[in-house]
């Protein structure tokens, strides 16, 4: 063994090989989820009709991808020709000139068929910077069988107070059945997405018209007290470490009577191959309270071309194909009509076959139609965004606030302590960024 | 009252049991990862965790269908062996000079080398990224070999230096009296004596390079991406992924685990080198 090590080392050093190269290679940076995996599989069809274009896929975890893309785009590294970015980044990066405008799209693409709220969210001053691959709002999932057995009925859009009563009635921890599952894991895209929509419904806002944070105001205090009490009393143990995936697993294994989360989960909870309660799931709009404004969020994953790409035309050709009606038809043909990427095209929701095959589609449609990032809560705000604030500083502020809210949920901080710290953190960041003095 | 023999036997038994318990505790995460890789996504998330379940190969089939495992594995082999080789080529002469021709600044130099490991890698991400872009090293195996060599060099120099310090100077002086040059001293005298220590340095460097994730995720995209990048690609923001992630992690760990298992004799010998004079 000992004498064999040296030749092995020598051989490995010599074995540096160069990479293959096709006429135009499009490197695509994307996240790993069901819709993206299907896109990757179906992309062979695109390569068949475009033999001069080769697609290279770089699939990364969401936060890693975000860091990777930010580094590459800010240094003009040119490593990516096409990338999957969210609604939040598209506006910010488009405004900085980091993205290529999606102009002169073919008439067959039918850009007017894209949901107006999604199209607006991906545009800066009327210029589109990303083509939406799928979009989502949030909604209420509930167990119809448990509701029926308890004699409860769900309205089209319940209030958070009603949700609490339902959760209280259906909470049976001794049977490992919890009244409600909600996001508790810290993160601007995890607990803060849900918490911000809940706060919107309670009339709270991130900033007043002069960009002063409002965490110590009565609305936030009421909202966070409600959230921690609700989840603390009727939620599963260790709720402060549960994000989307953990709650999905709990709901699918029949341990949650109610769950408020992304509309995209509709396809997972009704899929018998991964859900034990597939036939018993009911859908309602995300809960309101003092207002219905901003009760359901708006998010989209879009395909965007960085300015540093040297294969812009090929990248655009693929982005157009992957977000087209033609692609939706291909998905329907191969994986069934319910697998069409949701939330982007109005025509999908005009398709009777889709509406019949996807029991969650009607609520998804209403949620997306009602989601208005320009009017996210009761009082006027200086920003756009429902579960986010479209300023570069938001990610950092919301990450810190998310930790504090998660701390309040786990009991390591009191609600007033958490909100006081959230106020201090956001004031400091906003002063540093010169929004306020 | 226990006899001396019985006391010894009891002590051996207790120590043996303790060693097994520690070994099992250390191995448990790997065992759990392997078990999870044979579960369905729903079973992987089950609470309480399922110890008895019907195993499935669907996660491995999914990986085979979606990813070119051997492309990533080959990249891992090339960059970890390549960086280890270059690292040793630099570390051995450096450690030789520091161990046998010590100056006033040797200790300071060694500490300074080690201090570079204390800097959070993200702190130098942008400068390194720009340099790589400038020299066309982004997404190349050569680029990763360079960065891994630089990352592991301080530890390699320190380890080799420690092993060399254990070797009596008289042996080298005897070789010099026989007319050996510096290269001959290293190759014919030092290396054979310190081969156990050198083997463990090589193994440690290989393992560190194989498992390195920060730089491989940030400096590669597709051509040069190693197994760590493949593992990262199976984490999902929306959708269950634990079973698939466990399967791909098992596949990523397997080669280095087997390699470490086969080389454990050298590793133990190297790590205990000089422990008893």
- pLDDT tens across B192-223, in order? 888 888 988 999 999 999 999 999 999 998 89
Question: Can you give the pLDDT at residue B262?
Answer: 83
In this complex, is the C-beta atom of A303 within 8 Å of any C-beta atom belonging to chain B?
no
Question: Can you give the pLDDT at residue A359?
Answer: 93
In this complex, is the C-beta atom of A276 within 8 Å of any C-beta atom belonging to chain B?
yes
pLDDT in tens, A61-97: 877 888 888 888 888 888 899 999 999 999 999 999 9
Chain B: closest CA distance from residue A275 (Å): 8
pLDDT in tens, B54-102: 999 999 999 998 889 999 999 999 999 999 999 999 999 999 999 999 8
Question: Can you give the pLDDT at residue A16?
Answer: 37
The secondary structure of residue A288, as a DSSP letter, is B
DSSP A342-388: TTSBHHHHH-HHHHHH-TTHHHHHHHHHH--TTS-SSS--SS--SSS
The tokens describing B254, both together, are 């397997």
Question: Can you give the pLDDT at residue B82?
Answer: 97
- Given a contact cutoff of 8 angstroms between Cβ atoms, the answer to whether A339 and A331 are in contact is yes
In this complex, is the C-beta atom of B79 within 8 Å of any C-beta atom belonging to chain A?
no
Residue B276 has pLDDT above 60, yes or no: no
Q: What is the mean pLDDT of chain B?
A: 89
Output the CA torsion sign for A74, A383, A290, A141: negative
Q: Which helix (H) or strand (E) holds A85?
A: strand A82-86
Give Cα A224 distance to the centre of its chain: 22
User: Does the residue B162 lie in any domain?
Assistant: yes
* Residue A296 burial class via C-beta count within 10 angstroms: exposed 0-12, middle 13-18, buried 19 and up: buried
Inter-chain contact B66–A37, Cβ cutoff 8 Å?
A: yes
CA distances from A145 to A153, A212, A277, A363 (A): 11, 46, 9, 19
How far is Cα A295 from Cα A195, in angstroms, rounded to an integer? 10
Question: Can you give the pLDDT at residue B46?
Answer: 77
The tokens describing B14, both together, are 């207790």
Question: Can you give the pLDDT at residue B206?
Answer: 93
Band (pLDDT 50/70/90 cuts) for residue B270 is low
Inter-chain contact A71–B125, Cβ cutoff 8 Å?
A: yes
SS3 label, residue A90: helix
Q: Any idea what the Cα angle at residue B136 is, between residues B130 and B138, rounded to 5°?
A: 70
User: Does the residue B145 lie in any domain?
Assistant: yes
User: Does the residue B132 lie in any domain?
Assistant: yes
Domain that holds residue B55: 43-271
B194: left (phi over 0), alpha (psi -120 to 50) or beta: alpha
Band (pLDDT 50/70/90 cuts) for residue B277 is very low
Strand bridging mode A24-31 / A53-60: parallel
CA distances from B217 to A137, B1, B65, B184 (A): 31, 62, 22, 41
Question: Best interface-test mutation with A: which of B71, B73, B227, B238 has the largest number of A CBs within 10 A?
Answer: B238
User: Does the residue B30 lie in any domain?
Assistant: no
- Given a contact cutoff of 8 angstroms between Cβ atoms, the answer to whether A175 and A181 are in contact is no
CA distances from A96 to A89, A131, B132, B242 (A): 11, 18, 24, 37
Chain A: closest CA distance from residue B85 (Å): 6
CA distances from B197 to A120, B157, B172, B194 (A): 63, 12, 18, 5
pLDDT in tens, A301-360: 999 999 999 999 999 999 999 999 999 999 999 988 988 999 999 999 999 999 999 999
Confidence check on the interface: ipTM exceeds 0.90, yes or no? no
User: Does the residue B35 lie in any domain?
Assistant: no
- Given a contact cutoff of 8 angstroms between Cβ atoms, the answer to whether B181 and B55 are in contact is no
**Which domains does chain A possess?**
23-129+299-357 (3.40.190.10), 138-297+372-432 (3.40.190.10)
pLDDT in tens, A193-208: 999 999 999 999 999 9
User: Helices A191-201 and A218-234: crossing angle, nearest 10°?
Assistant: 120
How far is Cα A343 from Cα A96, in angstroms, rounded to an integer? 27
* Tokens 């997404």 belong to residue: B139
Nearest to B204 by CA among B88, B94, B97: B88
User: Does the residue B201 lie in any domain?
Assistant: yes
Chain A: closest CA distance from residue B238 (Å): 6
CATH number of the domain enclosing B257: 1.10.3720.10
Q: Any idea what the Cα angle at residue A62 is, between residues A56 and A67, rounded to 5°?
A: 85
The secondary structure of residue A224, as a DSSP letter, is H
Looking at beta carbons, which residues of chain A come within 8 Å of B204? Answer: none
Q: Within the 192-251 window of chain B, which residues sit less than 8 Å (CB to CB) from chain A?
A: 195, 199, 202, 217-218, 221-225, 229, 232-241
- Given a contact cutoff of 8 angstroms between Cβ atoms, the answer to whether A184 and A239 are in contact is yes
Question: Best interface-test mutation with A: which of B50, B237, B242 has the largest number of A CBs within 10 A?
Answer: B237
Inter-chain contact B42–A252, Cβ cutoff 8 Å?
A: yes
Question: Can you give the pLDDT at residue A18?
Answer: 36
User: Does the residue B90 lie in any domain?
Assistant: yes
Q: How many other CB atoms sit within 10 Å of the CB of residue B211? A: 17
How far is Cα B40 from Cα B58, in angstroms, rounded to an integer? 8
* Tokens 């859908």 belong to residue: A283
DSSP B131-143: HHHHTT-TT-HHH
Chain B: closest CA distance from residue A108 (Å): 31
Band (pLDDT 50/70/90 cuts) for residue B241 is confident
In this complex, is the C-beta atom of B116 within 8 Å of any C-beta atom belonging to chain A?
no
The tokens describing A27, both together, are 């490197």
Looking at beta carbons, which residues of chain B come within 8 Å of A59? Answer: 233-234
Question: Could you tell me which residues come within 8 angstroms of residue A235 by beta carbon, excluding any fewer than 6 positions away?
Answer: A178, A179, A180, A181, A182, A184
Residue B47 has pLDDT above 80, yes or no: no
A284: β partners: A140
Q: Domain count of chain B?
A: 1
Chain A: closest CA distance from residue B173 (Å): 27
Taking residues B122-129, what's their average pLDDT? 91
A99: left (phi over 0), alpha (psi -120 to 50) or beta: beta
CA distances from A397 to A185, A244, B77 (A): 16, 21, 41
Q: Within the 63-102 window of chain A, which residues sit less than 8 Å (CB to CB) from chain B?
A: 64, 67-68, 71-72, 74-80
In this complex, is the C-beta atom of B77 within 8 Å of any C-beta atom belonging to chain A?
yes
Q: What is the pTM of this model?
A: 0.81
pLDDT under 50 in chain A at which residues?
Answer: 1-22
* Residue B181 burial class via C-beta count within 10 angstroms: exposed 0-12, middle 13-18, buried 19 and up: exposed
User: Does the residue B235 lie in any domain?
Assistant: yes
């Amino acid at each position: 063994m000992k004498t064999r090590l040296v030749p092995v080392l020598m051989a490995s050093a010599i074995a540096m090989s160069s990479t293959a190269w096709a006429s135009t290679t499009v490197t695509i940076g994307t996240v790993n989820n069901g819709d993206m995996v299907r896109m990757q599989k179906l992309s062979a069809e695109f390569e068949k009709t475009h033999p001069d274009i080769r697609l290279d896929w770089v699939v990364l975890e969401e936060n890693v991808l975000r860091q990777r893309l930010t580094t590459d785009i800010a240094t003009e590294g040119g490593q990516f020709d096409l990338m999957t970015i969210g609604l939040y980044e598209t506006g910010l990066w488009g405004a900085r000139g980091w993205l290529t405008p999606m102009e002169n799209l073919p008439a067959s693409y039918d850009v007017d068929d894209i949901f107006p709220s999604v199209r607006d969210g991906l545009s800066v001053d009327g210029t589109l910077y990303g083509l939406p691959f799928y979009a989502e709002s949030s909604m209420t999932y509930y167990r119809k069988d448990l509701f029926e057995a308890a004699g409860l009925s769900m309205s089209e859009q319940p209030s958070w107070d009603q949700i609490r009563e339902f959760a209280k009635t259906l909470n049976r921890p001794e049977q490992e059945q919890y009244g409600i599952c909600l996001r508790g894991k810290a993160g601007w895209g995890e607990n803060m997405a849900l918490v911000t929509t809940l706060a919107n419904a309670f009339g709270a806002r991130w900033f007043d018209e002069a960009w002063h944070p409002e965490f110590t105001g009565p609305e936030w205090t009421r909202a966070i007290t409600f959230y921690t009490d609700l989840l603390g009393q009727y939620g599963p143990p260790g709720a402060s470490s549960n994000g989307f995936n953990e709650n999905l697993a709990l709901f699918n294994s029949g341990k949650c009577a109610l769950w408020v989360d992304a509309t995209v989960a509709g396809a997972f909870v009704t899929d018998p191959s991964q859900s034990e309660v597939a036939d018993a799931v009911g859908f309602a709009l995300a809960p309101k309270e003092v207002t219905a404004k901003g009760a359901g969020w708006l998010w989209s994953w879009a395909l965007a071309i960085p300015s540093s790409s040297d294969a812009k035309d090929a990248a655009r050709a693929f982005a157009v194909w992957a977000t087209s009606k033609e692609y939706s038809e291909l998905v329907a043909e191969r994986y069934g009509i319910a697998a069409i990427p949701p939330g982007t095209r109005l025509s999908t929701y005009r398709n009777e076959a889709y509406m019949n095959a996807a029991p969650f589609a009607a609520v998804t449609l209403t949620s997306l139609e009602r989601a208005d990032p320009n009017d996210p809560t009761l009082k006027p705000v200086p920003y756009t965004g429902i579960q986010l604030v479209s300023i570069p500083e938001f990610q950092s502020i919301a990450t810190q606030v998310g930790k504090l809210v998660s701390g309040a949920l786990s009991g390591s901080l009191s609600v007033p302590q958490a909100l006081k710290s959230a106020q201090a953190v956001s004031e400091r960041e906003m002063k540093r960024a010169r929004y306020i003095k | 009252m226990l006899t001396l023999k019985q006391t010894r036997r009891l002590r051996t038994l207790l120590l043996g049991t303790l060693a097994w318990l520690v070994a099992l505790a250390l191995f448990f995460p790997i065992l759990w990862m392997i078990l999870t890789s044979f579960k369905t996504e729903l079973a992987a998330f089950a609470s309480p965790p399922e110890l008895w379940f019907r195993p499935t190969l669907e996660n491995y089939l999914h990986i085979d269908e979606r990813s070119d495992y051997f492309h990533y594995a080959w990249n891992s082999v090339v960059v970890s062996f390549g960086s280890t080789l270059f690292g040793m080529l630099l570390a051995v002469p450096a450690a030789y000079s520091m161990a046998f021709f010590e100056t006033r600044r040797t200790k300071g130099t060694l500490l300074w080398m080690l201090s570079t490991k204390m800097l959070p890698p993200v702190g130098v991400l942008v400068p390194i990224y720009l340099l790589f872009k400038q020299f066309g090293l982004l997404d190349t195996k050569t680029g990763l070999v360079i960065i891994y060599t630089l990352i592991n060099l301080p530890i390699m120099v320190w380890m080799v230096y420690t092993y060399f310090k254990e070797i009596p100077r008289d042996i080298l002086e005897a070789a010099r009296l026989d007319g050996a040059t510096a290269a001959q001293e290293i190759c014919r005298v030092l290396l054979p004596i310190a081969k156990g220590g050198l083997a463990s340095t090589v193994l440690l460097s290989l393992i560190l390079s194989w498992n390195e994730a920060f730089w491989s995720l940030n400096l590669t995209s597709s051509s040069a991406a190693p197994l760590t990048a493949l593992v990262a690609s199976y984490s999902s923001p929306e959708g269950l992924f634990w079973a698939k992630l466990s399967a791909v992690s098992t596949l990523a760990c397997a080669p280095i685990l087997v390699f470490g298992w086969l080389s454990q004799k050298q590793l133990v010998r190297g790590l205990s080198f000089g422990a008893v004079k």
